[in-house]
């Protein structure tokens, strides 16, 4: 069996894309005849996905036989999960997935840059759109009860389908950008995948806002009912106030003067009310404090971000175009060096110079000593193999040169 690796993880997405793009069709068909369509359809699709993934990593000599065995497993799962005896035509569903398994066996030999054809994306979009139309019509007209009952699971399958489709389109776009001649760096692939997942999650979150609002409203109503029941239970624990009569044995009618008077509130209720008010005020104050702290932190970040952007804009707006011609010859500095400069170069003290400047200074001194170097010969042609990269790093690269590099350059060129 082949190792999975990153290429294997990418190929696993291919049969998953086929499975999730076709979910609405068997679900809609099975919902007319089965009470639990998700259980039946899920068994058939799982029987397709597992052998399809396994065949991707099997050697080519056994892949066909494994595909035939997987097709038999799909047919057996469909015969056990679906009511084939009552409705024979339902057996078409496992037959279709068995054919999809056999047709997808060549995917194991696909190159890494090959993605699923756009036909599967179109199939998924059409099937999910048609299923949503049927569900909306069924809810309004009272038809398609089985499909309406199975509707809550479709958004999850749609989210997985969109994720797989967008990841495939992202990889295909990067391959097209490289024109198939340049490999896309791994870090760029990871960043693009993360951005794809993040924007999909943002879009799904925005789409779920109405549902979240309804869920929060239901949660609030449930919470208020629980609090009301709890308060009612507390009231049942309080002692009842006896009704005072005229002192007779039968407890006659209450006095006329007491008809308009309300019973005084219980001390326990007053204490509970004050405790709840204090706790609510404390919670409100703590929440307000954290909210203010959070907003202040975000405002400071926003201010710093805007300041940086303004500085960049000001620098870009005030920058002028300068047409420069750079002489990259190693002896360009010697052509412009006056006589006093050459004397200072030979006799001056280099202890105050940086390591990079010391390397360039020593190389210029070597060129002054060797007149035959003033031709078109480069540093790689004149310096030892270990010293030439040090000089090129000191002159052409923007990286810092260490003290050890300067000592190594001096040691390598000491015999010259």
The residues, any chain, with a CB within 8 Å of residue 6's CB and separated by 6 or more, are 186
CA-only gyration radius of the chain, Å: 40
Q: What is the pLDDT of residue 358?
A: 84
Q: What is the pLDDT of residue 74?
A: 93
Residues 339, 376: Cα–Cα separation, whole Å: 22
Is-contact 365 346, C-beta < 8 A? Answer: yes
Residues 374, 334: Cα–Cα separation, whole Å: 9
Q: What is the pLDDT of residue 272?
A: 75
Question: Does the model's pTM come out above 0.75?
Answer: no
Q: What is the pLDDT of residue 2?
A: 60
Q: What is the pLDDT of residue 240?
A: 60
Q: What is the pLDDT of residue 111?
A: 81
In the Cβ-directed half-sphere of 387, how many Cα atoms lie within 13 Å? 22
Residues 335, 342: Cα–Cα separation, whole Å: 11
Length of the chain: 416
Q: What is the pLDDT of residue 5?
A: 66
Q: What is the pLDDT of residue 312?
A: 78
The residues, any chain, with a CB within 8 Å of residue 80's CB and separated by 6 or more, are 43
Could you tell me which of 165, 129, 150 has the C-alpha nearest to residue 19? 165
For the chain, the distance separating the N- and C-terminal CA atoms, rounded to the nearest angstrom, is 60
Q: What is the pLDDT of residue 344?
A: 52
Query: DSSP string covering 272-334, please?
Result: HHHHHHHHHHHHHHHHHHHHHHHHHHHHHHHHHHHHHHHHHHHHHHT-----------TTHHH
Residues 363, 413: Cα–Cα separation, whole Å: 9
Chunked mean pLDDT (size 10), the chain, 416 residues: 69 91 92 88 93 89 90 93 89 93 88 83 92 90 86 91 90 72 74 87 84 83 84 70 50 46 64 79 86 89 86 64 44 49 52 79 80 69 83 76 84 79
Q: What is the pLDDT of residue 381?
A: 79
DSSP 3-state of 158: helix
Give the helix/strand (H/E) hosting 59: none
Residues 376, 327: Cα–Cα separation, whole Å: 12
Q: What is the pLDDT of residue 325?
A: 42
């Amino acid at each position: 069996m082949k190792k999975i690796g990153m290429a294997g993880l990418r190929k696993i997405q291919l049969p998953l894309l086929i499975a999730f793009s076709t979910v609405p069709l068997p679900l809609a068909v099975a919902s007319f005849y089965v009470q639990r369509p998700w259980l039946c359809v899920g068994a058939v699709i799982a029987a397709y996905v597992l052998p399809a993934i396994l065949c991707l990593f099997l050697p080519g000599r056994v892949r066909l036989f494994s595909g035939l065995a997987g097709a038999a497993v799909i047919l057996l799962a469909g015969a056990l999960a679906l009511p084939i005896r009552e409705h024979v035509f339902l057996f078409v569903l496992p037959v279709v997935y068995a054919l999809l398994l056999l047709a997808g066996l060549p995917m194991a030999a696909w190159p890494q840059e090959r993605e699923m054809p756009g036909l599967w994306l179109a199939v998924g979009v059409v099937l999910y759109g048609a299923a949503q139309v049927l569900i909306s019509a069924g809810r309004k007209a009272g038809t398609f009860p089985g499909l309406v009952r199975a509707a809550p699971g479709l958004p999850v399958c749609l989210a997985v389908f969109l994720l797989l489709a967008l990841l495939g389109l992202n990889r295909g776009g990067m391959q097209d950008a490289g024109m198939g001649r340049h490999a896309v760096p791994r870090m760029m692939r990871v960043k693009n995948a993360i951005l794809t997942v993040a924007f999909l999650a943002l879009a799904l979150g925005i789409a779920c806002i109405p549902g979240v609002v309804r869920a929060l409203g239901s949660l609030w109503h449930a919470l208020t009912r629980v609090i009301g029941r709890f308060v009612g239970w507390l009231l049942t624990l309080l002692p009842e106030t006896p009704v005072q009569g005229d002192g007779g044995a039968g407890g006659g009618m209450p006095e006329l003067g007491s008809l308009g008077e309300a019973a005084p509130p219980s001390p326990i209720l007053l204490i509970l009310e004050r405790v709840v008010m204090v706790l609510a005020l404390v919670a409100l104050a703590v929440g307000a404090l954290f909210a203010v702290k959070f907003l202040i932190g975000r405002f400071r970040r926003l201010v710093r971000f805007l300041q940086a952007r303004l500085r960049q804009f000001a620098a870009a707006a005030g920058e002028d175009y300068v047409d420069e011609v750079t002489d990259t010859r190693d002896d360009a500095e010697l052509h412009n060096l006056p006589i006093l400069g050459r004397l200072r170069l030979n006799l001056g003290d280099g202890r105050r110079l940086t390591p990079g400047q010391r390397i360039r200074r020593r190389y210029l001194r070597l060129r002054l000593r060797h007149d035959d170097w003033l031709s078109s010969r480069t540093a790689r042609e004149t310096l030892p193999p270990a010293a030439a990269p040090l000089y090129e790093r000191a002159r052409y690269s923007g990286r810092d040169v260490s003290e050890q590099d300067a000592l190594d350059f001096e040691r390598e060129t000491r015999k010259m």
